[in-house]
Amino acid sequence: ALLRHATESGHVPGVVAMATSREGTLYEGAFGLRALGSAAPMALDSVVWIASMTKALTTTAALQLVEQGKLELDAPASEVAPQLAQARVLTGFDAAGQPVTRPPKRPITLRHLLTHTSGFGHETWSAEVQRAQAAWGLPRIGSGRKAALRVPLLFDPGERWQYGIGIDWAGQLIEAASGRTLGAYLHEHVLAPLRMQSTAFRLTPPLRSRLAGIHQRDPDGTLKLIAFETVQEPEFELGGGGLYSTASDYLRFVRAVLNGGTLEGQRILRGATVRDMAHNQIGALRVRPMATALPALSNDAEFLPGIEKTWGLGFQINENGTPTGRPAGGLMWAGLPNTFYWIDALGGVGGVLLTQILPFADTKAVALFGAFESAVYESLS
């Protein structure tokens, strides 16, 4: 009822939401339209850009290679990706507007990259990154050009949490260690074993035929369909945000995490690795609010304000219980067009809610995700 109301009231054009236990799907529903002005309904198999929900899948791939001894969490990442040895810390800008930098105090590691403590920021939430991009003539991360990775560090590795392009760099380590493109590695070792058959970086004709449109919410609250898709022939695939998927596909990944890294006889990670993913990996550091530097792409964003939050390997962790019913130790993250998921290993439940709305942290979509999660917990009580 709440999902139907959200579309009928015009809060969101279309929505797909699903919830799962360890054993199987608890709920699935799709409401509204794939795109405003179209007659095509949003469906359970509608394809959406999941953006930063890609990060948990890329992290999974990286940790598989750690298990195999091909990557190390705490070794200098430049041993695998030599370009990282060139990363320098931004200290300011000179009179001509050029970045002033210095060498970092310590090497960047894969653990730094996976936990947003590497020093890399993101143009969407950092005016300093944008200024450095302009001064050095660097493309934006969504361009799919490798030069976009060459932004300066905003601080020394390990010294604070700041959302950034670290997991895009982790994708480069995966390619170097495996000898495969990120997309090929993910397909063979993560997506195919989990039977996530509608998840990919490139929109094949079958995926495109089910694609939901992306909408922009104007300052007055109105929604309009916009022309947007990721670069389809990039120089590198964005491990931090390039995938398209469906709710049912991503729910299979959620279920695999709930089951300690296995689903229907296919193991993608060891149980101990999954436990590490769900454990605070940033010590005394804390996840901070993300103040927008590109209002067209994101509002100011903070999930669960007032609740202490840390970061594991791939996930935000709530250190206290949430108003929705999720206990301490829950995992979650989201994607730029207001796609969301949560994983509660203690309760054995998780869920996915997908819209296609910009800017990120849309108040209507965030509220709907919270209401859906609450409804799931209420139904189980």
Q: Report the catalytic residues.
A: 52, 55, 163
Q: What angle do CA 341, 228, 235 make, to 5 degrees?
A: 90
Task: Dig out the tokens for 22 from the structure.
Answer: 């360890």
For the residues of 106-144, what is the DSSP string, one character each? Answer: S--BHHHHHHT-SSB--GGG-HHHHHHHHHHTPPPGGG-
CA-closest candidate to residue 214, choices 50, 90, 68? 50
CA-closest candidate to residue 297, choices 376, 355, 217, 352? 217
Task: Dig out the tokens for 360 from the structure.
Answer: 């990120």
Spatial contact of 42 and 353, defined as CB atoms under 8 Å apart? no
Q: Which residues contact 172 (CB under 8 A, 6 or more apart)?
A: 81, 83, 149, 236, 239
Query: Considering all CA atoms of the chain, what is the largest pairwise distance in Å, rounded to the nearest integer?
Result: 62
